[in-house]
Amino acid sequence: MIEEIAKEYIALIPNLFGSFSELNKDSVELSHLQNHVIEYMYMQNKALNLKEISIGLNIAKQQLTNIVKDLEAGGYLIKMPDIKDKRAVLVSLTPKGKEIEDKKWTKIYQTFSKSITKLNKEEQLDLQFSLHKVNVMLKKMKD
């Protein structure tokens, strides 16, 4: 049983990645890593220090420093001193950074919603239930 579940899970990854890549195509004006940083900051919805971003994205802090510098120069991020740790700097999204992510996720939602119409109502219900169930099970396995 475990082997079959593992095979299905592994088969799901490229399907999801391919589907998401197609939805995300042409929706970003930033480099791949810049997009990851902006997206991570957007999902965290709070100011983070460089160490937290580095750990969360598994990017070397030295590499992240240059990416953050470029994003700050582009007006997507702002750095400010961390009042709790005088040695650290907090990074947060600017309105421009939030706007680019809002636009991207709106486009992804619209494209995905359009593709769902290729399924009949019963298939749509099956997909909804299946996705819900997968999410619940994956969260349960994480705890």
**Structural domain count, the chain:** 1
C-alpha distances in Å from residue 57, one per residue of 26, 77, 95, 130: 22, 16, 22, 28
For residue 56, CA distances in Å to 12, 37, 60, 128 come to: 23, 10, 11, 29
CATH number of the domain where residue 97 is located: 1.10.10.10
d(CA 53, CA 41): 8
- Domain residues for the domain of 138 are 2-142
Binning pLDDT at 50, 70 and 90, where does residue 75 land?
Answer: very high
Which helix (H) or strand (E) segment holds residue 80: the answer is strand 77-81
Segment 49-71 mean pLDDT: 94
Mean pLDDT within 84-104: 91
Q: Phi and psi of 48, rounded to 5°?
A: -130, 155
Per-residue pLDDT tens digits for 19-38: 877 777 766 678 889 999 99
CA distances from 97 to 5, 10, 64, 91, 110 (A): 39, 33, 17, 12, 20
pLDDT single digits (tens) 99-109: 999 998 898 89
Give the pLDDT score at 28: 64
If you average pLDDT over residues 108-129, what whole number do you get?
94
pTM: 0.76
Residue owning tokens 């996705």: 131
